[in-house]
């Protein structure tokens, strides 16, 4: 279930990045090499790596893999409604895909000039013997019962603690171009409604896609 991804090294769940260090041993194992990460600068994610040899202007298409949610076994998030977890990955995927589509052409297979993008919301540790992975493509297909209304208290607590991980690779060679880890900054206002969650996703997607466009010259 673990597919390589190439993406924009950015992650959301809060418009503002928290720049405190996120210890690699606390990560999920979604990324291949956490040792490459360094603390991000202003307006960057908390931890970031960029390949200094990456030829960003060579890329003009994107292979965007389904967003996933990684948790430590099926019971680790039992208090959080399953439909909420599926909505989170689906809404994040929708926000990123909509914004990426403004400047990049989507493709469904590797090739020259193609970025492979992977993103995950994680609440798991690589040391855990069992991981459970939910994907955006496994939604129920039914409208979420809360609509744009209140977020379940357990879901809100999960959002406050969750980590977002992402990477960008050359889709043809699998060369790592960039990766990053982020989380909501301490003291950020809680996300009380689904409308606020979706606005945060949209804001984040716009911010990170704008940076990617600047590097590739896609606009």
Q: Which domain holds residue 203?
A: 24-216
The domain that contains 32 carries what CATH number? 3.30.160
Contact call for residues 40 and 17 (beta carbons, < 8 A): yes
Which comes out higher in pLDDT, residue 11 or 84?
84
Residue 184: pLDDT band (50, 70, 90) is confident
Surface-to-core class of residue 53, CB atoms within 10 Å of its CB (0-12 exposed, 13-18 middle, 19+ buried): exposed
Q: Is residue 13 part of a domain?
A: no
pLDDT for 118-157, tens place per residue?
999 988 776 677 788 889 877 667 788 888 999 999 999 9
Residue 202 has pLDDT above 60, yes or no: yes
Q: Is residue 2 part of a domain?
A: no
What's the structural domain count of the chain? Answer: 1
pLDDT for 37-58, tens place per residue?
998 887 777 889 999 999 999 9
Q: Is residue 3 part of a domain?
A: no
Q: Is residue 170 part of a domain?
A: yes
Average pLDDT over residues 167-196: 91
Q: Please tell me the predicted confidence (pLDDT) of residue 23.
A: 54
How far apart, in whole angstroms, are the C-alpha atoms of residue 203 and residue 208? 9
Which comes out higher in pLDDT, residue 127 or 183?
183
Q: How many CB atoms lie within 10 A of CB 147?
A: 10
Angle at 11 between CA 99 and CA 82, to 5 degrees: 95
DSSP SS3 for 183: strand
Residue 203: pLDDT band (50, 70, 90) is confident
Q: Is residue 12 part of a domain?
A: no
Residue 9: pLDDT band (50, 70, 90) is very low
Q: What share of the chain in percent tops pLDDT 90?
A: 52
- Computed over every residue of the chain, the mean pLDDT equals 84
Q: Is residue 206 part of a domain?
A: yes
Q: Is residue 51 part of a domain?
A: yes
Phi, psi of 209 (to 5 degrees): -70, -35
Q: Is residue 14 part of a domain?
A: no
């Amino acid at each position: 279930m673990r597919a390589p991804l190439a993406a924009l090294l950015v992650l959301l769940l809060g418009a503002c990045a928290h720049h405190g260090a996120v210890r690699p041993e606390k990560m999920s194992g979604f990324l291949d090499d956490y040792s490459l990460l360094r603390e991000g600068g202003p307006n960057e994610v908390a931890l970031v790596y960029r390949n200094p040899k990456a030829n960003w202007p060579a890329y003009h298409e994107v292979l965007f893999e389904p967003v996933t949610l990684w948790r430590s076994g099926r019971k680790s998030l039992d208090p959080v409604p399953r439909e909420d977890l599926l909505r989170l990955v689906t809404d994040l995927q929708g926000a990123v895909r909509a914004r990426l589509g403004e400047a990049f052409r989507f493709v469904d297979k590797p090739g020259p000039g193609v970025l492979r993008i992977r993103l995950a919301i994680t609440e798991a540790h690589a040391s855990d013997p069992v991981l459970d992975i939910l994907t955006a493509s496994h939604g129920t297909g039914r409208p979420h019962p809360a609509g744009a209304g209140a977020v379940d208290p357990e879901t809100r607590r999960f959002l406050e603690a969750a980590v977002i991980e992402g990477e960008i690779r050359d889709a043809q060679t699998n060369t790592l171009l960039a990766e990053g880890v982020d989380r909501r900054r301490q003291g950020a206002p809680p996300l009380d409604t689904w409308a606020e969650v979706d606005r945060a996703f949209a804001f984040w997607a716009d911010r990170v896609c704008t940076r990617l466009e600047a590097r590739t010259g896609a606009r």
